[in-house]
Structures are given as structure tokens and as C-alpha cells.
Amino acid sequence: MKKIEFKAFTIKDIVFLAVITAVTLLASGPIAPLVMTVTKLGAQAFAMALPFALFTSIGLRKVEKSGSLTIIGIFSGLVLLLMAPVMFFNQLIASLLSESLALILFKSYENKKAILFSAGLFSFFTIPTTAVVNILAKGRTITEQVGNPITFILFVLGAAALGLLGAFIGNKISNELAKAGKL
């Protein structure tokens, strides 16, 4: 059975992941402040899913090493730490969850499905993290956070769907750039 391989990251890998994180944050920049204080669970993940998935999938195509998404999560979390400290945990845990599951299922990012899964569901996995953080830090019960169940279900499904769509577009762009010898 194929094992999950962990390769060392070069400076080139780290710089690329940092730069792609900068672009991801910039692309989601206009949306982030609007949803940062929304109390409805899932709303943030829904709003950020597309840009996050699109750019992180390109990042993972370029650096196909186990741990790449977690590094993106750390970098984006550290920057968000300067704006809303809770977001650090949110990003870090979601990236860890998403990456771990993708690697358990597909073993390596050489399998494109792993990239689609990992990048596509990154935002989706911020939902449980946000719920836990809200319970611990703000004392809000799950029922309070969910509010209207239909809206919640729409947010959750929307976050997954938009994330997968973003990752699919990111993969398409990566394929073209790889063909041009640029990736």
C-alpha cells in the first residue's frame, strides 16, 4: 500500500506558497471584512470558498508536497492574526483537517483528485472550526450559531460547491500553464 510521503520544502516552495497566500488573501480581501463579523455559521466559509480554492489549488499544483496546504493555512492565519486573531486558529485547523483527509484518501498530491479535494474543501472545513471557536471563545451554542437550518444547509453546501468549482478552475489554469512549461 502506498504511504504518505513527506518531502522537505525548499526556499523556492516556501516563497511560492507565501506569494500565492498573499494573492489569495488579496482576492478574498473585499469579502473578508464583510463576513468577518457575520454571526451565521457557514456564511464566512461560503463567501471565501471560491477565491481560496482557486488559488490554493494552483499553489498545490506547483508544490505537490504533503504539508503545502497547512503552510498556506499557517501563512494566511498569521496575517489574519493581525486583523482578527481568532481567524488564525480557524485557518490553521481547517487546512490541517482538509489536508490530512486528502492525504489519507489519496496519499499524495500527484493525484489531482487530492488537490481538488484538499483545496476545494478548505473553506468547508472552517465551518466546524468556527463553531468550536465560537463555543469556546464566545459561549454561543450550536443552535444559536446555526439560526435558520435551511440557510445553514445552503451555506454549507454552497461552501463545498463553490470550493470545488474554484479548485476545478485552478486546476484548469494550472494545466494550461504546465503545457506552456511555466508550472
Q: Is 72 exposed, middle or buried (0-12, 13-18, 19+ CB in 10 A)?
A: buried
Nearer to other proteins, 104 or 137 (CB): 137
If binding is defined by CB under 8 A, does position 16 make contact with other proteins? Answer: yes
Output the smallest distance, CB 27 to other proteins, in A. Answer: 8
What's the min distance (Å) between Cβ of 114 and other proteins? Answer: 17
Q: Does 150 interact with other proteins (rule: CB under 8 A)? A: no
Under rule CB under 8 A, which residues in 17-76 are in contact with other proteins? 17-23, 25-26, 29, 33-34, 36-39, 58, 62, 71, 74-76
Using the minimum distance from each CB to other proteins, give the nearer residue, 9 or 168. Answer: 9
Q: How many CA atoms lie within 13 A of 53 on its CB side?
A: 34
Of the candidates 122, 102, 2, the residue with the CA atom closest to the CA atom of residue 53: 122
Instruction: Pick between residue 72 and residue 114 the one whose CB is nearest to other proteins.
Output: 72
Q: How far apart are the C-alpha atoms of 131 and 22, rounded to whole Å? A: 26
Q: What is the rounded distance in angstroms from the CA atom of residue 35 to the CA atom of residue 44?
A: 5
Name 132's Cβ contacts closer than 8 Å, sequence gap at least 6: none
Task: Give the number of other CB atoms < 10 A from CB of residue 96.
Answer: 17
Per CB under 8 A, which of residues 84..143 are in contact with other proteins? 84-86, 137-139
Q: Which residues bind other proteins (CB under 8 A)?
A: 9-12, 14-23, 25-26, 29, 33-34, 36-39, 58, 62, 71, 74-76, 78-79, 81-86, 137-139, 169, 173, 176-177, 179-183
